[in-house]
Structure 1
């Protein structure tokens, strides 16, 4: 069950969604009111703003000279105002300051507008019938100017309403999303998640084209992978400390976890590289980075990739993406990053015990990102931050050649609805030469069919290294076409 932070975040998100247009209407009408009030006030203003301010000060000074006045001002003004302001600042400090700043801005705009129009002559009285004709004509000029100003203000306000008319109306269902097919095919739209095959990359962030990455397992970075056809990303998230020479790994993480995967050579090389980068600067604050256990060997800021993912989803309204996080960070830090990048708007929440949604359901609700965590387990987390191995079962992943590939159960439960096939060769250093036979059409098809037969369920995610090599995308497209026809 999600903890209180998740419930609070959900409530804030609902309120923001509900009140966004209402707040816009409120401030627009307030601005229009300031314009009209400025013109109206200038017509009756006989003294400058400076003189009016001086009169207010004299009134307060006179009231303060009497004991009863001091008591009334202290009780009604200082005490009540101070308590109200203090409570607002305590409950919602940022929102209160924003509200105060906007109110002060409107007040200053009003005072400045009145003073400007008064200086231009609008405070003069309108023409009177008992004045001579030349005097009446001269006195009518301010009235004419006032009328023109009011008309201009009305046109300006009307223009603002017209230009923002789309933001000020509730969208119809037809406006929510326009798409042609789901994940590239209309035939996939009415198929559930567990009836679709997703092309995936293992350690998706480790790309040779990304600056600072050693021992990369792909050529292109994640934004290009998505454009090429990758629809599931397997990434590692760590806390890292930025320095001038690179990113240092969180010292609390046991780096020795790398050794079973890459061997002692990788660990030794990583240690030498860390020594060359230098120590963590005093007072440095950690950030979220995509690293493969050791950020010194390569680190990509988490939020930059989340922005790329959001851009892809926004530009491709028919695409559904799966994100599997091998996470060593707080789920709520991940949530904060997704809120800041706007990716939170796309996350979907699954309900255990209910059938998985179809791609069409995800597309039409514009909830097209499924997030799974390998390490969250039963810890408090947002409801969309799913425990990976409750929902996903997989195969082993430590193979030294394509001939060693197996379909044996590894992680997950027998009733986990999604099936991940780990389909890469774990040699040091990673090499496209190892990926070439693994990613060939005969090997991919043979393993897909074998795992389906042995495990009794269709593989849904096929994760590879060097997706640029071999036939992954062509095979996944063909498998989806064939599965839709069965």
Structure 2
């Protein structure tokens, strides 16, 4: 090949390249140079537009349109002030329906005669991961969910920089101080003597042992913790009489040697927990089956009822708005109980602020007491 002329090299430096070449830049013939440049520029613009649109779409799908608007100065995450705007937050439902005197257990007098394994608990999945985190499971802190009536709490226990704490998948995400959380829980229980909580630890990053967890929380709540020793589970009234307001489980990690923290899947059967769409949750042939705890005593049945964004696998608020709705929840409980023959004890949800979870749970518990 003859050496390239100076003018050809100058044209190359000005950017007249073959956009389809996988080799070093090579100049077009003179009459193709302008057309090649235009095509190249057009392709680049199209790619940038597609990428930008995809990124915006992903952000809207993950965080919601209103939040994305607020980031670019086009609005806020506050409720739309226009008269036609419909409220999206959970309708007000009175959790505590007990009489002014007499028995009261977790908001209902009728709950008191039910054994722990006969009660349905509205349960917070990844309860500690709220909007202070980049990828929240909930908008508000778990302390507010307790006030709303949630009596089941799932927490990811981690060991970060040598300290036992709460996190979510990585020490940089969903981190909350374990002592602070249980100090707040203890304060809540002191103010609500008629209520009890079921708490399930998932052993996560750093694999803290149940003993290490108990070393942190035990001094705070030991006197309130019920220790199961076999046989029938107590009624809520029995727990109340004995001043016991907490029952602890854990899953994953090493087998618990702490009497106060029992292995969840020794006692509980649980559905699958990875659903990428509402349609997958609705597929009861797969979403209601026992995934973990198949060989358990099946004293408890836990239904997972939350959706992860299909693109990135992070919690979907839009999905939770659908699956937390009253008709959906009622049907899901009925379908899963029909599939397994088990009564549900834990309905595990994300974004507790949306939907009708507390109403469905309390109405179900009333029916169970009859």
Decide: shared fold, TM above 0.5. Answer: yes
Partner of 2:172, secondary structure, is helix
Alignment of 1:12-23 (within 5 A): none
Deviation of the 1:458 alpha carbon: 0.8
| CA deviations over 1:100-155 (Å, ceiling 9, x no partner) | xxxxxxxxxxxxxxxxxxxxxxxxxxxxxxxxxxxxxxxxxxxxxxxxxxxxxxxx
Deviation of the 1:298 alpha carbon: 2.8
Task: Report what 1:182 is aligned to.
Answer: 105
Deviation of the 1:320 alpha carbon: 1.1
Query: TM-score, normalising length from structure 1?
Result: 0.51
Which of 230, 237, 252 matches 2:150? 230
Which of 311, 319, 330 matches 2:187? 311
Distance in 2 of aligned mates of 1:335 and 1:230: 23
Deviation of the 1:430 alpha carbon: 2.2
User: Who wins on radius of gyration, i.e. which is larger?
Assistant: 1
Task: Report what 1:78 is aligned to.
Answer: none
Distance in 1 of aligned mates of 2:107 and 2:170: 36
Task: Report what 2:222 is aligned to.
Answer: 344
| CA deviations over 1:330-370 (Å, ceiling 9, x no partner) | 21221111233x21111111123x01111111111011101
Contiguous gaps of at least 5 residues in structure 1: 1-177, 242-285
Is the Cα–Cα contact under 8 Å of residues 305 and 323 in structure 2 kept in the other structure? yes
- Is the counterpart of residue 322 in structure 1 residue 198 in structure 2? yes
| CA deviations over 1:375-422 (Å, ceiling 9, x no partner) | 25645x221110110011110011112221221111113532011111
| CA deviations over 1:203-222 (Å, ceiling 9, x no partner) | 000011x4xx1101101111
- Is the counterpart of residue 384 in structure 1 residue 265 in structure 2? no
Task: Report what 2:297 is aligned to.
Answer: 415
Is the Cα–Cα contact under 8 Å of residues 179 and 317 in structure 1 kept in the other structure? no
- Is the counterpart of residue 395 in structure 1 residue 280 in structure 2? no
Query: TM-score, normalising length from structure 2?
Result: 0.67
C-alpha change, 1:393 and 1:240, in structure 2 (3 Å) is same
Alignment of 1:233-244 (within 5 A): 233-241=153-161
Partner of 1:424, secondary structure, is coil
Give every structure 1 segment of 4 or more consecutive aligned residues whose post-TM-superposition deviation is greater than 3 Å.
376-379
Distance in 2 of aligned mates of 1:196 and 1:438: 21
Is the Cα–Cα contact under 8 Å of residues 377 and 387 in structure 1 kept in the other structure? no
Task: Report what 1:360 is aligned to.
Answer: 237
Partner of 1:399, secondary structure, is coil
Question: Of Structure 1 and Structure 2, which has the larger fraction of its residues in helix?
Answer: 1
Which of 102, 109, 114 matches 1:191? 114
Distance in 2 of aligned mates of 1:444 and 1:351: 33
Distance in 1 of aligned mates of 2:163 and 2:125: 22
- Is the counterpart of residue 437 in structure 1 residue 357 in structure 2? no
Deviation of the 1:179 alpha carbon: 7.7
How many residues of Structure 1 are paired with residues of Structure 2 in the alignment?
A: 258
Task: Report what 2:141 is aligned to.
Answer: 221
Task: Report what 1:484 is aligned to.
Answer: 369
Partner of 2:306, secondary structure, is coil
